Amino acid sequence: MAAAREEGSDTARAYRSGLRQSLAGIRWWIPLLYLVLAGAWILFSDHLVEGLLPAAAVRVAQSVKGLLFVLASAAALWLLLRNQARGIERAHRATLDYAQRYRELLERHPDPLWLHEAGSGRLLYVNPAARRFFGLGADDALPADAAALQGVLPHPGEEGRPATIRRIHLPGGRRHDVELHVARLDHDGREARLVSMRDRTAEIGAERERAQSARRMREAQQLACLGSWEFDPASGHGHLSEETCRMLGIRAPAGDGADVRGLLLDSLPGWGGELSSLLDALASGHGTTLDVVIPLETPDGTRRLQLRGARATDDGAPHLLRGTLQDITEAEAARRQLRERERQFHDLIRALPDGVILLAGDRVRYANPACAEAFGRPVESMPGLPVQALVAEDDVPLLREWLRAALMPGQSPDAAVRTPRMRRSDGSLFNAALTAAETRYEDAICTVVVMRDLSDAERMRDELTAGNQQLQAMAARIFSVQEDERRRISRDLHDDIGQSITAIKMSASAAMDEDDPARRRDDLDDVLALADATLSRLRDISILLRPPQLDALGLEAALRWHAERLFAHAGVELDLAIGVLPQRPEREVEQACFRIAQEAMTNALRHAAPARVSLWLQDQGDRLHLQVVDDGRGFDTPAEGGLGLAIMRERAHGVGGAFDIRSAHGAGTTVEAVLPYEPAASAKHASQPAG
């Protein structure tokens, strides 16, 4: 600031000196030059005119000569004055530019600056920074006195002294520690003071806070049993904190010139050689850090001290070794117990059959294997997953509402709040029973959710309900079918067999009463024909009840015979692909397979109106595979198939097999069954056929 003021004063003096010199030159050399030129013109021009011109033209020439002299004098004066005026204008403009730059410098200065009279204290100039600091307003008008600055005006005799720190009080209760710089100067012939002020409140406050932080750090080290050490590896001299000396059981050395290296080695018996090697390696740069746990025997028992250190450089000073010494006896014991509890907890969580998921905000922080399996994801991919990826897209707001209700103290989710549906990685949805609670995990408040997949329970419940309904319908239908079958057999026996036997009886009676041998033979032939027809009809009824080919020739022949007989006059193309089975199935399996094929082909002819029906039977290792396919009208759902499909399914499941039917309107129907060669001891229901 002082340098700027001195530079401004020198520049102003230079401008004023140049201006005076220019004006002084105008005062003497221009009139002198004019006198010389005018005298020469007057003395010599008249003689020249008289010698060159006749007497009659001399008078005119004298007038012209005078006029030319006046014009030449005016032109010369204009040129001389123009150059002088330009010089003066340049000097004045430079002075104004300097004043403007100096004012801008003061206006933009970040520190408050003001100028006041030495005696009265009246303000002569205040920069914007001072106006803002003291609340003087932003206008150009200045107060008549320095009432707002009375607490900041320098005392007499402070001019020229080093900067002083003073505490000032501003309106509104604000207190500031400021540093003042005062300079004397002359302002329009009056003695004035230019004051520059720097606010040191933040720096002094930071210094106080640093002192308080250092005190708190010492207190924290005592509470944490943490001390510090530092020494020069070349001399071993350095500093030990009070807490380090207390842990080592030594007296704190006076000053920073103590042999810290020797104190450390002597205070840790049994570790002197190894610790000395580690410190040498650290000092030479072969090691980057030092971290060793040292057991120390004391009268109170064994204590464990953790010694840490590293190389450090302080502003170009030689390399120092710095570190800490901490008593970790209690911390080690607590960590061991904590690790054991965490291991037990994690083992328990991993062994739970229910899913456990830990939420931090809207993301998964932990999930046990059962939870990952329920969502169809690898367990390592669960942490970090957004919770929106685990819930049905439409149920994300519902999940937030449910969690808010579940985490409300002393309450449980209202029954009206529906549990959100969960979503697997393949996009399929499932219902789950959820329980939520807040917990702390790794110093963070999280939400733990216990989840139980209800898919199997709901499927078993639905299957049990559907099975019960089918069994009830099947029992009623079987009873009705049995009654219908009995009535049909009774009607067939009465109408066909009964009438045939009556006809045989009547023909036999007629033959007994006939005397003519030829007519008796004709009656006996009629009896034989009626007996043959009756036997054929009895055979058909017996075959419908159970075909003898199934017992005599096996499953393949029975299926081929029944299919050819069934489609003989149906007008439908039959495609048979019946392979030779490597072994004969058990009786129950043969009967189930035959009845399933019989029912499927009968249903196709009765309901589907097909043009072509295919029967396919092949071996699949330890199972046989039956398939009946038609190209008929088909149906949309298996429920439209009625009781026949339920009976076929129960026949397959009854021997431990699997049954499936696929159909659609206009696309035909495929009936498929996979059966074992030997019936299972306890048949298990399966929704899809294996293989």
> For 276-299, how does the pLDDT look when each residue is reduced to its tens digit (9 = 90+)?
888 888 888 777 788 888 888 777
pLDDT digits (tens, 9 = 90+) for 56-67: 676 677 777 778
The single residue listed with the structure tokens 């942490």 is: 383
pLDDT digits (tens, 9 = 90+) for 461-518: 777 777 677 666 666 666 666 666 666 666 666 666 767 777 777 777 777 777 778 7
Most confidently predicted of 147-156, 160-169, 626-635:
626-635
Over residues 321-345, mean pLDDT: 84
Q: Which pLDDT band, with edges at 50, 70 and 90, does 672 fall under?
A: very high
Residue 393 and residue 388: Cα distance in Å, rounded? 7
**Beta pairing, strands 573-578 & 612-620:** parallel
78/586: higher pLDDT: 586
The answer on pLDDT for 690 being more than 50 is no
Q: What was the pLDDT predicted at 190?
A: 80
- Cα–Cα separations (whole angstroms), residue 653 to 452, 595, 623: 29, 13, 14
**Beta pairing, strands 226-231 & 237-240:** antiparallel
The answer on pLDDT for 605 being more than 70 is yes
Contact, 359 vs 387, CB < 8 A?
Answer: yes
> In CATH terms, is domain 352-451 a member of 3.50.50.60?
no
Q: What percent of the chain has pLDDT over 90?
A: 4
Q: What was the pLDDT predicted at 674?
A: 93
Phi/psi for 130 (5° steps) reads -70, -35
> In CATH terms, is domain 554-691 a member of 3.40.250.10?
no
Contact, 145 vs 123, CB < 8 A?
Answer: yes
The answer on pLDDT for 682 being more than 60 is no
Over residues 519-547, mean pLDDT: 72
Q: What was the pLDDT predicted at 688?
A: 41
Into which CATH architecture does domain 205-334 fall? 2-Layer Sandwich (3.30)
Over residues 609-628, mean pLDDT: 90
Into which CATH architecture does domain 109-199 fall? 2-Layer Sandwich (3.30)
Residue 618 and residue 626: Cα distance in Å, rounded? 7
The answer on pLDDT for 676 being more than 80 is yes
158/169: higher pLDDT: 169
Length of the chain: 691
Q: Which pLDDT band, with edges at 50, 70 and 90, does 25 fall under?
A: low
Residue 256 and residue 461: Cα distance in Å, rounded? 82
**Any idea where the domains of the chain sit in the sequence?**
2-106, 109-199, 205-334, 352-451, 454-545, 554-691
Q: Do domains 109-199 and 205-334 have the same CATH topology?
A: yes
Residue 22 pairs in a beta bridge with none
pTM for the model: 0.34
